[in-house]
């Protein structure tokens, strides 16, 4: 299961994302992401370029709430040149903009910002089947932001419905137990951002690098 480190806090890209990228470079994190809000598009362009220079894959997550803003972000993602785009639900538009880029839309009913997720396991499964049929590489499931269902029930429903597609779980992952549960459920990747920056993943350690090392150790089965 892949760990995608998000240079984000409270669903926004952090203002010093480029400085943080320099700090974490020695760790060899293989997947690094950011949101479409929080900093200027020019900064995101530089960020994506520098992530690629580190040999990592870049992930752009769209959390804008209006249809117009989502479309602007999809167009920006194509111009920036990222490896993966997550979020949004305008699948037809996204796929026309993101030729050659893996796309992972939100199943269910994303609400507000920071984003919460409405929807039952049945609704999640139906969306996953529809999105895969449309040509999406997988989905970006906000399982631990669920407002109506058990998070793992949503994960299992998505996993069964994706028919070989990739399942990424994003949002509010902040404990080793959650990571292990996602791995056991067959999740392909998960994101963590805020829990690194606020120190809540490893509360007795204060350094950014220490938080990341703890997460990477869990992924490797070392904790």
Q: Write out pLDDT tens, residues 73-109.
A: 999 999 999 999 999 999 999 999 998 899 999 999 9
Instruction: Give the residue, 112 or 177, on which the prediction is more confident.
Output: 177
74 located within any domain: yes
Q: Give the mean pLDDT of 53-73.
A: 96
Q: Give the mean pLDDT of 174-195.
A: 97
Which pTM was predicted? 0.95
109 located within any domain: yes
Number of domains in the chain: 1
Do 175 and 211 meet the contact criterion of CB atoms below 8 Å apart? Answer: no
Q: Write out pLDDT tens, residues 126-137.
A: 999 999 999 999
223 located within any domain: no
168 located within any domain: yes
What Cα–Cα distance (Å) separates residue 1 from each residue in 4, 31, 39, 184, 206? 10, 11, 29, 10, 25
Q: Give the mean pLDDT of 49-57.
A: 97
Residue-number span of the structural domain to which 93 is assigned: 2-218
113 located within any domain: yes
At residue 223, does pLDDT exceed 70? Answer: no
176 located within any domain: yes
Write the CATH number for 50.
3.20.20.70
């Amino acid at each position: 299961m892949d760990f995608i480190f998000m240079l984000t806090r409270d669903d926004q890209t952090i203002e010093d994302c480029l400085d943080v990228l320099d700090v974490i470079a020695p760790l060899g994190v293989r997947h690094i992401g950011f949101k479409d809000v929080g900093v200027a598009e020019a900064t995101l362009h530089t960020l994506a370029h520098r992530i690629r220079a580190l040999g990592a894959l870049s992930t752009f997550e769209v959390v804008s709430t209006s249809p117009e803003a989502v479309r602007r972000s999809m167009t920006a993602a194509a111009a920036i040149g990222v490896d993966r785009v997550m979020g949004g639900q305008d699948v037809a538009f996204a796929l026309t903009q993101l030729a050659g880029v893996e796309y992972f839309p939100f199943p269910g009913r994303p609400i507000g910002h920071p984003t919460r997720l409405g929807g039952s396991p049945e609704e999640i499964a139906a969306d996953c089947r529809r999105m895969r049929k449309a040509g999406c590489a997988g989905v970006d499931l906000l399982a631990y932001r669920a407002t109506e269902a058990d998070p793992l029930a949503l994960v299992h429903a998505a996993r069964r419905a994706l028919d070989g597609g990739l399942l990424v779980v994003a949002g509010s992952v902040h404990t080793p137990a959650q990571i292990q549960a996602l791995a056991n459920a067959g999740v392909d990747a998960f994101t963590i951002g805020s829990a690194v920056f606020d120190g809540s993943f490893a509360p007795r350690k204060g350094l950014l690098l220490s938080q990341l090392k703890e997460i990477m150790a869990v992924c490797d089965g070392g904790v």
